[in-house]
Structure formats: C-alpha cells, structure tokens
Amino acid sequence: MKDKLIIVVDLGLVRAYRVDLTEQRTPRLQQLEQLVLDEAHTRLKDRVSDLAGRQGTGTQKSSSAPKADDHNLKLEAKRRLIRQIAARITGLIHQNAKNGCWLAAPKEINSQILNELPPATRERIQKTVPCDFTKLSPGEVLEHFLERTV
C-alpha cells in the first residue's frame, strides 16, 4: 500500500494523494497536487462574447426563439475538460504511481475519463470508484478506498 497514488476527480478539480505509512504503520494521505480547472467554474454566457445568443428574436405568435443555436457548446466544453483531466491523470500516474493507482470520479464522467486515457496508463489503475470524493477530507477518502478493498 505504501507509495500508492490516489486520484480524486470531478469536472472542475483534480486532487492527487500519495499513501504513506506512519511510524505506527497506519496509512495516511499526503496531498501531492491540486489542479482547479477554471473553465468548469465559469458560465457559458461569460465565455461567449457575442450577445446575439442571449436575446430572443421579435415575437412571432407570442414566442421568442434565440437568434442562434448554442451548437453544443456545453457538450464541447465538457469534452475539453475531460481531455484535460485525462492528460493530467496520465502525467501524475507516470510520475508518481510506483505501486499502482486508485481513481475516483463521478459516475457520469468516470467511463469517459477512462476512455480518454492511453492503454498503458489505464492498465496501471488498479481500482476505480464511480463516486465524487473531491469534497471529502483526505482521511475520509482513504477510508472509502480501504473499505472497498475489504
């Protein structure tokens, strides 16, 4: 268990921990890195500079429609965030995962992140948990992973 890497992810945050053993041989987590993806925390209307998409057209039979479609901007932003997360996970695993890696990501994006990882990186991930552990303390994260191994 010593020198195992634990990565906890959601769409706006990547946290990496290393499992160390104390003098009493109990495991504890030491945070290696925290990456905040600012793009995930901004609204779409703040990223788009054109005001045309925010206003409706003149009323036609008491309905207003936008002047332009959003062209899947939200979906594309999510794809980009997932690619950024996968790239950072790949770097972390290649630098720090001496004894394997455990990964926790929300159920909605877990498989998408795994699909974006290169096969060599995916093989080094020993356990994946489809839960969002980003808001938990390091001790709680370790507890969740240890109880799932038993």
87-117 pLDDT per residue, tens:
999 999 999 888 889 999 999 999 999 999 9
CA–CA dist 122, 117 (Å, integer)? 6
User: Which pLDDT score is estimated for 52?
Assistant: 54
What is the DSSP code (8-state) at residue 41? Answer: G
CATH superfamily of 5-41+71-149: eRF1 domain 2 (3.30.420.60)
CA–CA dist 40, 72 (Å, integer)? 15
Residue 80 CB partners (closer than 8 Å, separation 6+): 39
Q: How many CB atoms lie within 10 A of CB 133?
A: 22
- Global pTM value: 0.78
CA–CA dist 112, 83 (Å, integer)? 9
10-53 pLDDT per residue, tens:
998 999 999 887 778 788 888 999 988 877 656 666 666 655 55
